[in-house]
Every structure is written in C-alpha cells, then in structure tokens.
Amino acid sequence: MERALTRRVYSPIALLLAAACLTASCSKESEPKPVQERVKITVHMIGTRPLPDPKEDPIKQELDKKLGIDLTIRTFLPEDYANQLKMGMATGSNADLFSIGNRQEFVQYSKQQLLLDLSPYLDLLEPAMQMVGKERLQLAEAGGGVYGLPRTETAYQYSFWIRQDWLEKLKLNVPRTTEEFLAVVKAMAERDPDGNGQKDTYGFSGRPNQALGPLFGAFGTTYPGSFYIKGNKLINSLYDPATPQALSYIRSIFETKGVDPGIVSNTSLQHKEKALQGQLGLFYFNWPNWYQEEYLKVNANAHWIPIDPPQGPNGDRYAYAKDVSDSILVIPKSVGNDKVKLNKIIQLLNYVSTPEGNKLVMYGLPGKHYTETNGKIVLHEILKETLGYAYQLTGRDEMGYLRTKFPEREADFTMAARQPFISIYDGLIQPPDGFRLDDAKRYIEQELWRFIYGQRPLESYGGFLKELEEQFHYESRYVASARQQISELGATEGP
C-alpha cells in the first residue's frame, strides 16, 4: 500500500526556520542559553507510570541542556488519556506535542484545522523521518496534508501463558490445536490442578477482546467487526463464514465452566491477580508485566511458560489482529504561530532520532547508565530505575533495545514478536457521515456475548446480521464505504 508523499509547500515560517538553521553549527539559536530562557515544551503520552521527578531525571536534564529547552512529559493511563485528549482539543489547552491513537479522531481534528500540517517542514524533519521510515509517513496523511509523525513499529508483547506444573500434574501436553486447548481448559477447571480438593480453578482468562483474539484467529478471522483482506477483497469479519464457526468453538469453551467467570469485566489487571493467587492455569497477558520473581514470590511451585496460539481445524493460527494504522505524534496548529517553539520541537524530534539521541532516550547517559564497546552496549543497574518509554518520541531499534535491556527475557519477547497476525484496516476507515458506529459496536458486542454464553442460538447468526443492517445499515453504508476507501488506497494483499 504505497503512495507518493504529500507535495511539500514551503511557508514563510519554514523559510525562517531553514534560515535559522537547526544544527549547532549554523546560528546563535543553537547555542546554550540560560535556564530562564529555555523554551518550555509540554508533551502528553500514554504510559503506565509517571516519569521521575525532574531533579532525578537524567534524560530530561540532558535533553534540556543539549537543546535549550524545558521539557515536561506527562503520562496518562489509556482511559485517562482519551478524556484528556478530548478535553484539550475542545478547549485548545492541549500539550505542544501529543499522540493520537484513533484514526477517526486524527482525521477529524485535521479537518477542523486543529493540527499543524507538517508538509512545509518535512525537509527540516529529515532525521526524524529517517528514523520512522518514510514509507510509514502515509499513516499521518489526511486531506492532502501530513499532520504528524508515526513511531517506528513496536513488537507485539502478548501471548497465552500456561502453568506447566499444572500440565505435568494433569499429565497433559502443551496444547497445540483447538481441540487440545479445549481439553486443557476443561481439565484445569475439573481435575483440581492445585490439589486443594476444591473446584476453584479456571483454565482461561484475560481481557476479553484480547484473549478471544487468538481463538477467532484459529479460524482465520478476527474479533467481530474488523476489516481485513481475503482473496484480494476487503471483508468485515462479521460477514466471514469463519466467524460463526469460531463463535461455536468459543461457546464450547465457555460451556466447560473452565472460563474465569469475571472475564467480561477484566478491564484492568484482575486476571493477573487471579493468576498470582493460583486461580488460573492459562491466561492471555504481556511479558513485560509478567515476570518470574513476582509469581514465584507468591507460589514457589508455579512454573509459567508462554505458548503459541492454537491451530484451528483448517490449519489457521493467528495470535492477534494488527491494525496497519498507528498512533500519530502531532503538534497543535496554534504552535505554528510560535516559530521559536516550533524550531525547538523540530530539534527535539530530530535529536531523539539520531544515533546519539536515540541511545540517550533508550539507555541513558554514556558512562553512567551504560558503556559501549565495539558497538555492544552493556547497561548499568541504575538504568532500570530512571528511564521511561515516553522519551522515545519517534521510536527505537525495537529488538536491539529489548535484547539489550531484557536479555534474560529474550525467549519471551521473541516468542511474542514472532506470532502470526492478521492485518486489519480499521484505523484507515472513516465511517460515513451520520453513521452511528459506536451504537453499532455496542450492539455487536452485546449480541457477541449472547452467542458465547448460549443466550442466543448460533442458528440465528444470519438474523443477527439482518438486524444489524435494519438498525444501522451496517453493510450497505459502513462496509460499502470501507471497501471504497481501501480500494482508493490501493490495498490488495491480505493474510
């Protein structure tokens, strides 16, 4: 799916920036400035934990010193970030630099002229574009402009984790097929793997949309409602004949009573706590938040291992659905009126994309946080307590970073990263004007769980699709529009 980059039109601001020179050799602009003259830059990002106090944050201090800025990065949990973003866009109080993960919102804000079109500044952003990959720049295009920068691709982190000690006790092998997977889930609920004489264990859990993904993937489809290309044709998974087959299989798993009864409400880390407490024998989770020291502290006999997703009856095996779109780093249009601040933001994006700057935001200060000999980086222990993902604004050398920072987890992250996935195009699709996508999604989700829990017979699946069309014009408007949009983008390859 390749397209020519947006034509670059150079504005007076761009010419001023070029004349000012963004490198240290060109002008007084890049010379060290007194602290009180540093340009304040605020950044909002999604993150699971706040950054260190500025006085104890060597990355901030080094970036401030090198670039003559006063950088403040605030991190928010995903649900908090969504609210922060909407409020900031509505009031014009957003940060100077922030990410938008939803394609529909990204296009909406660009159409409303709330985001800065970076087309005139692409030459000045060359180091950042080299880091990201120019072919990925099309992800930030909308309405003839380039309204941000995507990050480099990150490796997938999730997989099924299973209690190998329970498998050994039950004399079962690691499940490789959907049939074996079903048998394991049932056995972990019925055959008392923890040996306490009670039926108080379960063989399946996770966040519902994540944990069910590989089970739909075993039938060559995705969690209902996503778009992918099959046979050179864009289809919505709701209309794939494989979907009711997958629902039938998933329903058989729930009928074993081996599924965590709270799975629908596992929106945070409830499933992790249940696994730590010895209630689960198999669940879907990400390796960075699941480490040996934690679960062995609770149960010294526990032996958790990651496993591949099960293979379906037709040989399909997909771990997850990966959207071809991505979160985009954007600048509010209002910042374009402040050429000094814009200059510094461009410098920041470029610097963290250079070999020197990228090592800084990945590993810290050379000599203090890491040493490098003949291209090999060795980390010091202090590194783990001070650095945050948020500084890697344009991304990183993903596998090199993981091997350097987590050498003891290489088996886990390589296994998660190598899992097969289905490319989905949801993020590139705009719903037609007036189409109630959120309402349709709620209806789909409601009926999905009715099918899974046996509250609605699978024989009525065709009736469900008819209801979806009658209530929302889902196929005639939304699916038809999606096919036209993706056709215009030239996508012809699928799983």
**Are 293 and 357 found together in one domain?**
no
Q: Which of 393, 414, 435 lies at the terminal end of a domain, its last residue? A: 414
Q: Tell me the pLDDT band of 384, cut-offs 50, 70 and 90.
A: low
**Are 186 and 300 found together in one domain?**
yes
Give a yes or no: residue 419 inside a domain.
no
| Alpha-carbon dihedral sign for residues 185, 190, 193, 194 | positive
**Are 135 and 211 found together in one domain?**
no
pLDDT of residue 491: 61
CATH number, position 302: 3.40.190.10
| Strand order from edge to edge, sheet including 149-150 | 69-76, 39-46, 97-100, 328-330, 149-150
**Are 75 and 103 found together in one domain?**
yes
Give the strand pairing for 328-330 and 149-150. antiparallel
**Are 264 and 310 found together in one domain?**
yes
**Are 366 and 389 found together in one domain?**
yes
Distance CA 315, CA 467 (A): 32
Q: pLDDT tens digit string along 178-234?
A: 999 999 999 999 999 999 999 999 999 999 889 999 999 999 999 999 999 998 899
**Are 139 and 59 found together in one domain?**
yes
Q: Which of 414, 445, 466 lies at the terminal end of a domain, its last residue? A: 414
Judge contact between 224 and 217, C-beta under 8 A. Answer: no
The three-state (H, E, C) secondary structure of the chain, written as one string: CCCCCCCCCCCHHHHHHHHHCCCCCCCHHHCCCCHHHCEEEEEEEECCCCCCCHHHCHHHHHHHHHHCEEEEEEEECHHHHHHHHHHHHHHCCCCCEEEECCHHHHHHHHHCCCECCCHHHCCCCHHHHHHHCHHHHHHHEECCEECCEECCCCCCCEEEEEEHHHHHHCCCCCCCEHHHHHHHHHHHHHCCCCCCCCCCCECECCCHHHHCHHHHHCCCCCCCCCEEEECCEEEEHHHCCHHHHHHHHHHHHHHCCCECCCHHHCCCCHHHHHHHCCCECEEEEEHHHCCHHHHHHHCCCCCEEEECCCECCCCCCCCEEEECCCCEEECEHHHHHCHHHHHHHHHHHHHCCCHHHHHHHHHCCECCCEEEECCEEEECHHHHHCCCHHHCCCCCCHHHHHHHHCHHHHHHHHHHHCCCEEEECHHHCCCCCCCCHHHHHHHHHHHHHHHHCCCCCHHHHHHHHHHHHHHHCHHHHHHHHHHHHHHHHCCCCCC
**Are 29 and 131 found together in one domain?**
yes
Phi, psi of 239 (to 5 degrees): -105, 10
Judge contact between 254 and 211, C-beta under 8 A. Answer: no
Give a yes or no: residue 420 inside a domain.
no
Q: pLDDT tens digit string along 221-279?
A: 999 999 999 988 999 999 999 999 999 999 999 999 999 999 998 877 899 999 999 99
Give a yes or no: residue 2 inside a domain.
no
Identity (one letter) of the amino acid at 277? Q
pLDDT of residue 139: 87
Q: Tell me the pLDDT band of 386, cut-offs 50, 70 and 90.
A: low
pTM of the model: 0.79
Q: Which of 381, 414, 447 lies at the terminal end of a domain, its last residue? A: 414
**Are 355 and 460 found together in one domain?**
no
**Are 271 and 347 found together in one domain?**
no
**Are 234 and 246 found together in one domain?**
yes
**Are 107 and 177 found together in one domain?**
no
Distance CA 81, CA 221 (A): 30
- Structural domains in the chain (count): 2
Q: pLDDT tens digit string along 424-457?
A: 999 888 899 999 999 999 999 999 999 999 999 9
Q: Tell me the pLDDT band of 387, cut-offs 50, 70 and 90.
A: low
Query: What mean pLDDT value characterizes the chain?
Result: 88
Structural domain including 370 reads 12-154+327-414
Phi, psi of 188 (to 5 degrees): -70, -20
Distance CA 135, CA 307 (A): 33
Q: Tell me the pLDDT band of 385, cut-offs 50, 70 and 90.
A: low
